[in-house]
Structure 1
């Protein structure tokens, strides 16, 4: 893969000048000389623009399509290259306020009347602002926060733990439920709607949520398949991924798996850069990051922020929270917001920190880290009686003074509206997630909600699931082993059952246990989605794919394994136990086992979408499946179930496959299960001699007026079904009902994802 632009030049920061390196695409090892400062400042192409040229040159070389104009070798150092100036974007937020209800902490002395205590309970650490009751009080997490972020710059939110850094990032990224957040957010002076923000932005969570068995390149390629439109060829998507790998500094780790606790993989810094790469694959205008340097050593943290600087210089707005940046990282930041208990105590450039605190009366000593000094001073003020109120008020007066010196002018946006700015960005290669540069009336109509149709999303999701499963064969192997061991035990325990009354009873026990086993072995599907839950929430939060696509793909991916498990269990038990029906009977037995696996898998999948923890989920699964078996009709016939519990009998998942196998086994009207003297086998008379049993039969014949001999058939399969109370449905109807249960639980799973995975604060 040809090397593209690795680092951009920042004309606003002379002490951190980084040269452009370019690649002649006709020679993979030829490195062009760096740009001069003057040429770099006048020509700063976006990442999307550079990638577009990479793709065009590649298509010309390979003959991929004839609609691409002929491009010459990309020489960014050429003075003849005319690059449109950066499209100005300004994200402004004004008076953001967010409060939550918290429980009061009651203390016994506080509940007793005294001169110093005039109310019940102790409030939380912050003073309540309203909405109080006997048991709750209101805690303000954000209080009147204002500021702005511009393209080409990094805005960092700093503060101690609990100061509101992550809350502010969530507020700006629209991760707080509508109605809970007060204030305004605008992009280029226009209110930023939720749908538009999802498409033009990306959010990198603090935790690296990645599939452990995929390589770095595969992880980014799947992100490209999700976020880049179908109209973009596979080769261009691959070129974009390769260029991004270069930009992120992951070339040496491209073929390495991500890894986890049990599999060695990439380092922590590389993992963090992969997480960033997933969310910038579509070159978003706004990038939010929640403490991207958390848990990294100083070198890895610096490399991550350096990558963010390049992303910002490509024409994006980068907003991140950071706990305590090092001196080197501070030099990469353009704007800072210091928070203390949800209030702004400083907002401005890092260069103004010495002047700001000097005017406040606490000058920063020379050769001391500015941010460390500021954070230490803020903590000291927080512990004082007056808190940081004086610093908050000083910041307001400082901001008013700075605003008055600028004459209150609006930020320069080049006279472009939001629609015009987005349209210009699309023409430069940004927002390639299906965006079109047309004459749409509103910006929303220019950018589609999703980059690809449902069937492409399903194909990519299925491919990723199969690949991930193929690299962890032990998961399916353990499940197959459990099914085979259970089938072997049942086959040897119920070996070749006869057609006697005892054989009938043993058949009933085998069928009930076999059907319940199919459901219990599905419990291992519980952790699958619980492990993927946060990856799913991250990907769907910004419209990588539809929830419906995930549900459909999830259902399709499990089918091959369920078919294999059903065939293995059916072949192990059917002929060994001596079940009836021949080949047609076996085929139906296989179908009902498969339907039971399908319903059980769907049921467990639905629970995984509702229950947040694995152990709690296992407890619920085992309990509910036990109830299903209890009400299936094996332990107590349907006619004997009390009326107030009969509804649970019809809800039992075990009932329908259990009855279907019974109907399949006892459907032959010519087959007899109790003949002559066998009628006494299930009674105390079963121990008497055969001659006495024949005399008893003769006596019964005389009494009933019907001749009963030792070969007379007294109980057929239909009689057994009647005794078991299985008269409502045919075996095929039981099969369809079982399959329908599976689809119902898949629909419920979708509903749980629709309403339970919003990933927003209340």
Structure 2
């Protein structure tokens, strides 16, 4: 494959955990990454072509239209998921690629394929740096250079093929046939079972040095570690340091790029917003329209319709019963969105941190796209709910009241969502956020004007912060303004105050959520 993307000064980092959206396909995942990360000079078609090139380069063409999957969603295999993560980084053609334990959780055959792929990337002229624990002998022999660390100290740095020769030269060699990587890890941890001892350590044991012995008469791990550090410092370190300290000449253009800290976005703000908006809809449409969620909403609607079947408002008692239905609607569509929105930012925190660290988009573009991409989805289920309840319960049968009821419920949903987003973004802990939301929603519900009409004056201010209260008043106005100016002790007025209060909550709670995300110090930049 021919690359036309300059690789100078570009670095990619693949985390140990696979941070991907489960409901996006392999092709969608890499296409969105290309559109956000590749330079602005490339057209949309060129970026999509680059994503397809990476898919074929990584051997993902067979599963390109398969969802990534996750804990509760069936998707691609673990090895394919890891290759998608690598594809997200090599899509920008980095000159340097870091990987944190890329074989973690994979079987030996899949791990070998991943390392072979990384070796192919390295042979193409890229520098690949990876941490790895307990590799097989086949994996070990694919590395060009090796850094062995023990307790944060350097025990070896050099060619992987010369590792065993070096340790034999300092008196450490395996007494039985074993995987070189296993032997090195044993040494790094001070475990010298089945390992020959250097004469210096043998002398310390024979001299009875208490600090150098363990109960079975062998050098302690601390002494082994000290010996390995000293051996490296005296035999290899100085030579390697001199070789590494030789300056590499840089041309003036490259020096300018190195000194420049100006962030280079791959897309303009409006392009970032558009890409993230549609990505959000594609990712969450499966959750919004799951059979479980649809069943939950429609079954609740049917139960309500049967309980309030063709209710009327001919006498005060019937009117009070129907007002109870309106209050339940206000509570249900206030409670439901809060506890859905709470999970938004805590669940996406890892993805947000990863993508922001890679300078994929501005926080403001992400936040606005994330909070608006839910709105088209949020309107569908409430409309279905009201189509069932409204006509079964025999509410005011007229076009204007029906649509005003839908708009009121929708305004309540968006305000309640804002509260959930603010709580989730502020605490970033699901247990604490759920607890706070439960107390808040319960308080708003109790102060909502149905259970208690005469709220003590020192506590009455709570109701004006309650979206349940304002929604309930608006629903009463829509249904009964032609019947009575006072319903259940609540005076029906123009409704302007309630609408203004809900709109203030819509924007106020979201602004608080945005400030909380900025406080996380992910990456600065509006």
Classify the TM-score, shorter chain. Answer: 0.7 to 0.9
Cα pair distance change 1:473/1:749, threshold 3 Å: closer
Contact 1:629/1:655 (CA < 8 Å) preserved in 2? Answer: yes
Task: Check conservation: 2:190, 2:222, Cα contact below 8 A.
Answer: no
Gaps of 5+ in 1: 5-49, 54-83, 90-199, 423-438, 672-716
Distance 1:555 1:610 in 2: 15
Residue by residue over 1:11-59, the C-alpha shift from the partner in whole angstroms, topping out at 9 and shown as x without a partner, is xxxxxxxxxxxxxxxxxxxxxxxxxxxxxxxxxxxxxxx2229xxxxxx
What's the counterpart of residue 416 of structure 1? 250
The DSSP-based 3-state class of the residue aligned with 2:423 is helix
Aligned partners of 1:739, 1:393: CA distance in 2, in Å? 69
- Which whole-Å CA distance do the structure 2 matches of 1:264 and 1:320 have between them? 29
Equivalent-residue separation in structure 2 for 1:51 and 1:507 (angstroms): 68
SS at match of 1:213: coil
1:52 corresponding residue in structure 2: 4
| Cα 1:513/1:241, change in 2 over 3 Å | same
Q: Secondary structure at the match of 1:563?
A: helix
Partner Cα distance (1:757, 1:484) in 2? 42
Cα gap change, 1:509/1:255 in structure 2, threshold over 3 Å: closer, same or farther? closer
User: Which has a greater percent of helix?
Assistant: 2
- Match of 1:275, SS state, is helix
Distance 1:517 1:256, change over 3 A: closer
- Of structures 1 and 2, the larger Rg is shown by 1
Map 1:191-590; keep pairs closer than 5 Å: 200-363=10-173, 368-380=178-190, 383-384=220-221, 386=223, 388-403=225-240, 406=242, 410-413=245-248, 415-416=249-250, 420-421=253-254, 442-445=259-262, 448-471=263-286, 474-475=289-290, 477-494=291-308, 495-522=310-337, 523-527=339-343, 529-580=345-396, 582-590=398-406
Question: 1:157-198: per-residue Cα shift (whole Å, max 9, x none)?
Answer: xxxxxxxxxxxxxxxxxxxxxxxxxxxxxxxxxxxxxxxxxx
- Alignment partner, residue 653 of structure 1: 467
Distance 2:260 2:49 in 1: 28
Q: Which has the higher strand share?
A: 1
| Contact 2:101-2:133 within 8 A present in 1 as well | yes
Shift of 1:440: 7.0
Per-residue deviation, 1:321: 1.1
How far residue 653 of structure 1 moved from its aligned partner, in angstroms, is: 2.2
TM-score, normalised via structure 2 length:
0.84
Q: Counterparts of 2:96 and 2:79 in 1: how far apart (Å)?
A: 22
Local SS of the residue matching 1:388: helix
Alpha carbons of 1:215 and 1:664: their partners in 2 closer, same or farther (altered >3 Å)? closer
What's the counterpart of residue 206 of structure 2?
none
From the superposition, tell whether residues 483 and 201 of structure 1 become closer, same or farther in structure 2 (CA, over 3 Å).
Answer: same
Q: 2:273–2:365: 8 Å Cα contact kept in structure 1? A: yes
Residues 362 and 440 of structure 1: is their aligned pair in 2 closer, same or farther, counting only changes over 3 Å?
Answer: closer
Q: Is the 8 A contact 2:405 2:475 kept in 1?
A: yes
**How far apart are 1:316 and its partner, in Å?**
3.4
Contact 2:33 2:88 in 1 (8 A): yes
| Cα distance change of structure 1 residues 661 and 473 upon mapping to structure 2, 3 Å threshold | closer
Q: Equivalent residue for 1:756? A: 520
Secondary structure of 1:345's match? Answer: strand
Please give the secondary structure, in 1, of the residue aligned with 2:88: helix
- Any residues of structure 2 matched to 1:672-711 within 5 Å, and which? none
- For residues 256 and 488 of structure 1, the distance between their equivalents in structure 2, rounded to whole angstroms, comes to 36
Q: How many residues align?
A: 495
Supply the distance in 2 between the matched residues of 1:451 and 1:259 (Cα, whole angstroms). Answer: 27
Contact 2:30 2:88 in 1 (8 A): yes
1:224 is displaced (CA, Å) by: 0.8
Deviation at residue 324 of structure 1 after TM alignment? 1.8
CA distance in 2, matches of 1:472, 1:666: 36
**SS of the residue 1:478 aligns to:** helix
> Contact 1:354/1:370 (CA < 8 Å) preserved in 2?
yes
Q: Cα offset for 1:302?
A: 1.9
Deviation at 1:582, TM superposition (A): 3.6
Q: Deviations over 1:508-534 (max 9, x none)?
A: 322221100112222344445544332
Q: Does structure 2 conserve the Cα–Cα contact (< 8 Å) formed by 1:247 and 1:307?
A: no
1:368 offset after TM fit, Å? 4.2
SS of the equivalent of 2:149 reads strand
Q: Does 1:743 align with 2:507?
A: yes
Q: Tell me the residue number matched to 1:718.
A: 485
2:199 corresponding residue in structure 1: none
What is the CA RMSD across the aligned residues, in angstroms? 3.2
Distance between the aligned counterparts of 2:505 and 2:230, measured in 1? 62
Separation of aligned partners in 2, 1:532 and 1:487: 31
Gaps of 5+ in 2: 192-218
Q: Equivalent residue of 1:746, what SS?
A: helix
- Supply the distance in 1 between the matched residues of 2:158 and 2:257 (Cα, whole angstroms): 36
